[in-house]
């Protein structure tokens, strides 16, 4: 086991380069199963979720060659299995994209239940609704989800709530289905657009990604033979922007798409931070104590749940009383009790957290309860007086590339150390 030891406070200063988007990569890698050919994917984040996914695909007969640590060449001409066992799929959430991909390519998928962060109940009824609408029979038993069909046929699907995963999975399952599939009430996140752009580059015909109505005109085959570069990670970019504010620093975030960060930029400005957004980079800096704000997490383009805990760190030190309402995940305030160990004053009531702003945080041993909570606690440790130890790093390593090196390059005093068992 390992821990991060952080000595603060340090105002972060300098430039940081954002990696490719985790939540796009974990949909695009399984999407290669649909390709009867070879393709190259660039700008992959070097994180454990990506490595786990590549391992699963190799077990299905896909040949993967690492060109460098951010680029793979994928040969999916010979899929030899449509079964992904639980011991591999439970390592992360996005393993459920294997169902849509294998169903689309092979007409059969037997996939272990997904794992991932414990954010409260994470049902997949809308994914199943999508598969069934396309003509598949879906059963869940003994820890596996099985989906089968003789022939997938296009249909119109209305989702009961906006779901990133169900939108992605239905796109994957319908790309090779006969006819035109329509998804209504689709998610609009940048990673949805990235998946559609990837598939279109490989020969698919998907229109409307990024709006709430997506139309997929089924094609006979995806030939591949193309190179695709993954979109920058807007959550990693937002994490560093908020770290600039929490640490009273001045950071330029490079290789991001500032359009994707509008809800975060709006809130940083509202609490009194400074932002200069320049399309593919943004300078974010602190100049005075930040003030309270109220936030409700929402599907894109609302304020992202995946930046809620990082924003919570800023609000815990802002003057006045702030309120965050978490509308996506039931258990996304677990970081609050860890931040309270560092001197924050946060009270949780159901899906609402009330932050009574304190002047400063102090160092303490804390545990990363999920991926984004882990990033938030690192930010808090950098901003706090004294030494903070962050435990449970496997959550953070799943989704952030070289996080401590990136923070160190901005001046943070942060070290990874082995923990005696
Ligand atoms: N929902 C259902 N039924 C479904 C699917 C979703 O009720 O069949 C509900 C969920 O319980 C939740 C809401 O709909 O309340 C939205 O869930 P969504 O399906 O959009 O989430 P997801 O696809 O499982 C992805 C990201 C999460 C991110 C959410 C919301 C990936 C691999 N994961 O999850 O990312 O929080 O969208 O934006 O893309 C993270 O990166 O830290 C992370 C948790």
User: Which numbered atom of ligand 1 lies nearest the CA of 168?
Assistant: 23
Atom of ligand 1 nearest to the CA of 327: 15
- Band the pLDDT of 142: cuts 50, 70, 90: confident
Scanning 202-233, the segments in alpha helix (DSSP H) are none
Q: Give the span between the Cα atoms of 247 and 37, in whole angstroms.
A: 48
pLDDT above 80 for 292? yes
Cα-to-centroid distance, 164 and ligand 1 (Å): 6
Burial class (CB in 10 A: 0-12, 13-18, 19+), 358: middle
CA distances for 203 relative to 43, 198, 229, 383, angstroms: 20, 9, 16, 48
| Residues 75, 86: Cα–Cα separation, whole Å | 24
Domains of the chain (ranges; CATH) run 2-19+232-418 (3.65.10.10), 22-229 (3.65.10.10)
Per-residue pLDDT reduced to its tens digit, 304-313 = 999 999 999 9
For the record, the structure tokens of 220 come out as: 């006979």
Answer positive or negative: Cα dihedral of 400, 360, 284, 334.
positive
Q: What integer pLDDT is reported at residue 121 of this predicted model?
A: 77
The Cβ-side half-sphere exposure at 163, using a 13 Å CA radius, reads 23
| pLDDT for the residue 370 | 94
Q: Is the CB of 170 under 6 A from ligand 1?
A: no
Q: What is the structure's pLDDT at 93?
A: 86
For atom 37 of ligand 1, which residue has the closest CA? 164
Task: Indicate which residues carry an active-site annotation.
Answer: 117
Whether 43 and 230 have beta carbons less than 8 Å apart is answered as yes
How much of the chain exceeds pLDDT 90, in percent? 93
pLDDT (tens digit per residue) in 167-182 = 999 999 999 999 999 9
Give residue 91's pLDDT: 85
How many angstroms separate the Cα of 191 from the Cα of each of 51, 57, 101, 178, 233? 19, 20, 16, 25, 9
Where helices occur in 33-150 by DSSP H, the ranges are 48-59, 86-89, 97-106, 125-133
Q: How far apart are CA 43 and CA 203, in angstroms?
A: 20
Ligand 1 midpoint to CA 347 (Å): 25
| 380 vs 9: CA distance, rounded Å | 9
**Residue nearest (by alpha carbon) to ligand 1 atom 36:** 306
Q: What angle do CA 91, 339, 263 make, to 5 degrees?
A: 75
Question: Would you call 132 helix, strand, or coil by DSSP?
Answer: helix
Could you give the CA distance from residue 177 to residue 308 in angstroms, rounded to a whole number? 38
Atom of ligand 1 nearest to the CA of 328: 15
**Ligand 1, atom 5: closest residue by C-alpha:** 124
pLDDT score, position 115: 81
**How far is 384 from 362, CA to CA, in rounded Å?**
5
Instruction: Tell me if residue 270 falls in helix, strand or coil.
Output: helix
pLDDT, tens digit (0-9, with 9 covering 90-100), for 383-418:
999 999 999 999 999 999 999 999 999 999 999 999
User: What pLDDT does 304 receive?
Assistant: 98
Question: 23 in ligand 1 pocket by Cβ < 6 Å?
Answer: yes
* Structure confidence at residue 92 as a pLDDT band (50, 70, 90): confident
Find the distance separating the first CA and the last CA of the chain, reported in whole Å.
7
Residue 20 has pLDDT above 80, yes or no: yes
Write out the E strands in 271-407.
274-277, 281-285, 294-296, 321-325, 346-349, 352-356, 365-367, 386-391
Nearest CA to ligand 1 atom 17: 163
Residue (of 81, 89, 84) closest to 62 by Cα position: 81
Output the CA angle 331-337-338, nearest 5 degrees: 110
- What contacts 68, CB < 8 A, 6 or more positions away? none
Task: At 383, list the tokens.
Answer: 């901003």
DSSP codes joined into one string, 154-192: --EEE-SS--HHHHHHHHHHHTTSBSEEEEES----HHH
| Distance (Å) from CA 189 to ligand 1 centroid | 11
386: left (phi over 0), alpha (psi -120 to 50) or beta: left
Q: Residue 291: is its pLDDT beyond 90? A: yes
Report whether residue 124 contacts ligand 1, using a CB cutoff of 6 Å: yes
Is 166 close to ligand 1, i.e. is its CB under 6 Å away?
Answer: yes
Q: Which is nearest to 41 in space by CA: 199, 174, 179?
A: 199
**DSSP letter (8 states) at residue 368:** -
């Amino acid at each position: 086991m390992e821990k991060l030891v952080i000595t603060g406070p340090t105002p972060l200063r300098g430039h940081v380069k954002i990696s490719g988007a985790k939540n796009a990569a974990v949909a695009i890698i399984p999407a290669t199963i649909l390709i009867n050919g070879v393709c190259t994917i660039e700008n992959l984040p070097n994180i454990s979720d990506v490595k786990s996914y590549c391992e699963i695909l190799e077990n299905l007969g896909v040949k993967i060659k690492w060109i460098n640590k951010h680029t793979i060449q994928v040969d999916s001409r010979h899929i030899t299995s449509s079964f992904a066992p639980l011991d591999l799929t439970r390592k992360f959430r996005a393993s459920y994209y294997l169902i849509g991909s294998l169903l689309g390519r092979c007409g059969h998928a037997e996939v272990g239940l997904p794992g991932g962060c414990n954010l409260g109940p994470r049902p997949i009824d809308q994914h199943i609704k999508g598969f069934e609408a396309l003509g598949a029979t879906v059963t869940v038993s003994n820890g596996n989800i099985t989906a089968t069909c003789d022939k997938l046929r296009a249909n119109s699907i209305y989702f009961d709530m906006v779901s990133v995963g169900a939108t992605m999975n239905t796109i994957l399952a319908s790309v090779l289905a006969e006819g035109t599939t329509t998804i209504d009430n689709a998610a609009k996140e940048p990673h949805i657009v990235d998946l559609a752009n990837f598939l279109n580059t490989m020969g698919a015909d998907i229109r409307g990604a990024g709006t709430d109505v997506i139309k997929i005109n089924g094609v006979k085959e995806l030939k591949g033979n193309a190179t695709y570069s993954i979109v920058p990670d807007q959550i990693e970019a937002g994490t560093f922007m908020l770290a600039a504010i929490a640490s009273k620093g001045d950071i330029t975030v490079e290789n991001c798409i500032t359009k994707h960060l509008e809800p975060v930029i709006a809130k940083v400005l509202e609490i009194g931070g400074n932002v200069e957004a320049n399309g593919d980079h943004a300078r974010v800096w602190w100049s005075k104590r930040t003030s309270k704000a109220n936030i409700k997490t929402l599907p894109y383009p609302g304020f992202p749940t995946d930046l809620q805990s990082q924003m919570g760190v800023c609000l815990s030190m802002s003057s006045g009383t702030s309120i965050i309402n978490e509308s996506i995940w039931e258990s996304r305030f677990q970081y609050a009790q860890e931040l309270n160990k560092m001197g924050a004053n946060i009270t949780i009531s159901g899906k609402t957290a009330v932050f009574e702003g304190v002047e400063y945080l102090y160092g303490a041993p804390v545990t990363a309860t999920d991926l984004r909570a882990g990033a938030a606690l690192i930010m808090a440790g950098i901003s706090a007086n004294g030494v903070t130890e962050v435990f449970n790093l496997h959550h953070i390593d799943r989704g952030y590339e070289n996080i401590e090196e990136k923070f160190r390059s901005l001046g943070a005093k942060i070290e990874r150390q082995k923990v005696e068992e």
